[in-house]
């Protein structure tokens, strides 16, 4: 039998041990975590909609009409009219022909990728893709070839030498770096090489593009350019679940083949109604996007002036590169002692030697909240101020 206790101790010694926090109350910048008040900069609630009163009211109103649980899978008797209405709304919102509502983003990626490729096929995956994409590739049993992050030329060379059914899958916004995939170039090479392009825009939906329609819309790409668009609803949209959108033929195919859609209980239909409310709000409230991106711009300017190494991101995901696991933990702990919650991200979530603090911004943050973060970062510079960090 494996020595599980030894493995856990080894993780602690390597600075890789993880713990869960107990959060009380709603998700918002001011949290109660492990019994103490903290100002959080590590949520994916980019538009501050997870605790939005209108969405909560929409959920409450729907409960009396729909009940609570989904009670069955979509293909038995769990596909409620509320789910259908949300799928129509998601198709409209993303500019696609059709959409399917999944339980989670992880399940969407696992189900979609493993349904669209299989034995004898080839999947090309960006090296920095999310774990759910990686696991979907493994589950498919297709041949998987990873290309260097964002390297379209390398990908094109790989596509040119590969025959048979091919699929390229990429994040739209990369969750740990915050940068955006070269989507227009990817669409071009996929069209030329007769390859199906799948984009997971989990961190772009709601934040980027016209009316918050995401990174694919920001790049001006149509359903023909990006046939399969995946997104989560528990980040910028502020509710729960996920979706895939694209041509009606492919959505019908996924209903027949996507195991994570077929063999699981449908999400509570009231959540679908709350999500429709949130999508309506996202479309009409440009001010939320302008505010959060304004916070990002100020943070980048002032944190860089302090000497912190930031990554080339213009999204609400703003990693501070540290390198060493223990140094990243020390900086995170020092910020927590000053009342701030900023998570240290370590391998295997990021490559070895690239530990970082992942700062994320929300439209619910104020300029005063950002003042607190910048002041604390100024106080803590000495913890990572080594030879590679300017004063």
Residue 273 pLDDT > 80, yes or no? Answer: yes
- The reply to whether 66 sits in an annotated binding site is no
**Residue labelled with tokens 């041949």:** 143
Q: Does 349 appear as a known binding residue?
A: yes
Domain 51-282 coded CATH 3.40.640.10 = yes
Other beta carbons less than 10 A from residue 374's beta carbon:
16
Q: Name the β-bridge partners of 33.
A: 23, 36
What pLDDT, on the 0 to 100 scale, is given for residue 248? 98
CA dihedral 22, 342, 205, 134 (to 10 degrees): -80
Please tell me the distance from the alpha carbon of residue 119 to that of residue 219, in angstroms, as a whole number: 32
Q: Is 165 annotated as a binding residue?
A: no
What pLDDT, on a 0 to 100 scale, did the predictor assign at position 385? 67
Please check the confidence at residue 67 and state whether its pLDDT lies above 60: yes
130 known member of a binding site: yes
Residue 103: left (phi > 0), alpha (psi -120 to 50), or beta?
alpha
Pairing between β-strand 355-360 and β-strand 36-40 as defined by DSSP bridges: unpaired
105 belongs to an annotated ligand binding site:
yes
For the stretch 14-36, pLDDT in tens is: 989 999 999 999 999 999 999 99
Residues 327 and 383 sit within 8 Å (Cβ to Cβ): yes
Q: What would the mean pLDDT of 51-64 be, rounded to a whole number?
A: 97
Residue 386 has pLDDT above 80, yes or no: no
Name the pairing type of β-strands 196-200 and 30-33.
unpaired
Centroid of chain to Cα 281: 20
Q: Is residue 35 annotated as involved in ligand binding? A: no
**Is residue 78 within 8 Å of 320, Cβ to Cβ?**
no
pLDDT (tens digit, 9 = 90+) per residue, 126-149? 999 999 999 999 999 999 999 999
Q: Exposed, middle or buried: residue 205 (CB in 10 Å: 0-12, 13-18, 19+)?
A: buried
Q: Are 227 and 197 in contact (CB under 8 A)?
A: yes
Asked if residue 391 has pLDDT above 60, the reply is: no
Which class in CATH covers the domain with range 19-46+285-382? alpha beta
In this predicted model, what pLDDT tens digit does every residue of 165-174 receive, in sequence order?
999 999 999 9
Distance CA 326, CA 347 (A): 12
User: What's the CA gap between 369 and 363, in Å, rounded?
Assistant: 11
CA–CA dist 87, 294 (Å, integer) = 32
- Delimit the domains of the chain by residue range: 19-46+285-382, 51-282
175 belongs to an annotated ligand binding site: yes
Each residue's pLDDT tens digit, 78-97: 999 999 999 999 999 999 99
Is 118 annotated in a binding site? The answer is: no
Q: What is the pTM of this model?
A: 0.94
The residues annotated as belonging to the active site are 175, 203, 235
pLDDT at 384: 77
Strands across the sheet containing 36-40 = 23-24, 30-33, 36-40, 340-341
């Amino acid at each position: 039998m494996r020595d599980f206790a030894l493995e856990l101790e080894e993780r602690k010694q390597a600075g890789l041990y993880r713990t869960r926090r107990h959060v009380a109350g709603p998700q918002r910048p001011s949290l109660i975590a492990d019994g103490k008040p903290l100002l959080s900069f590590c949520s994916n609630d980019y538009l501050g909609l997870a605790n939005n009163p209108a969405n909560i009211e929409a959920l409450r109103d729907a409960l009396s009409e729909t009940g609570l649980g989904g009670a069955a899978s979509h293909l038995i008797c769990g596909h409620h009219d509320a789910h259908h209405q949300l799928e129509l709304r998601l198709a409209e919102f993303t500019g696609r022909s059709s959409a399917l509502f999944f339980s989670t983003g992880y399940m969407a990626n696992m189900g979609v990728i493993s349904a669209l490729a299989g034995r004898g096929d080839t999947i090309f995956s960006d090296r920095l893709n999310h774990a759910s994409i990686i696991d979907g590739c493994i589950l498919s049993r297709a041949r998987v070839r990873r290309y260097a992050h964002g390297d379209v030329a390398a990908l094109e060379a790989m596509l040119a030498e590969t025959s048979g059914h091919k699929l390229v899958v990429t994040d739209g916004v990369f969750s740990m770096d915050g940068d955006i995939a070269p989507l227009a170039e990817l669409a071009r090479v996929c069209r030329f090489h007769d390859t199906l392009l799948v984009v997971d825009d989990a961190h772009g939906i709601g934040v980027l593009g016209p009316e918050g329609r995401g990174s694919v819309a920001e790049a001006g790409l149509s359903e023909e350019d990006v046939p399969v668009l995946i997104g989560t609803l528990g980040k910028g949209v502020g509710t729960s679940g996920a979706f895939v959108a694209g041509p009606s033929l492919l959505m019908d195919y996924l209903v027949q083949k996507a195991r994570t859609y077929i063999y699981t209980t449908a999400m509570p239909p009231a959540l679908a109604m709350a999500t429709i409310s949130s999508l309506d709000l996202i479309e009409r409230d440009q001010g939320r996007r302008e505010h959060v991106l304004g916070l990002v711009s100020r943070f980048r300017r002032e944190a860089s002036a302090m000497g912190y190494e930031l990554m080339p991101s213009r999204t609400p995901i703003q990693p501070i590169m540290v390198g060493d696991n223990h140094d990243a933990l020390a900086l995170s702990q020092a910020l927590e002692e000053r009342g701030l919650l900023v998570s240290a991200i370590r391998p295997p979530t990021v490559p070895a030697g690239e530990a970082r603090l992942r700062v994320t911004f929300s439209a619910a943050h104020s300029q005063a909240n950002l003042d607190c973060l910048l002041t604390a970062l100024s106080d803590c510079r000495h913890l990572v101020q080594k030879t590679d960090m300017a004063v």
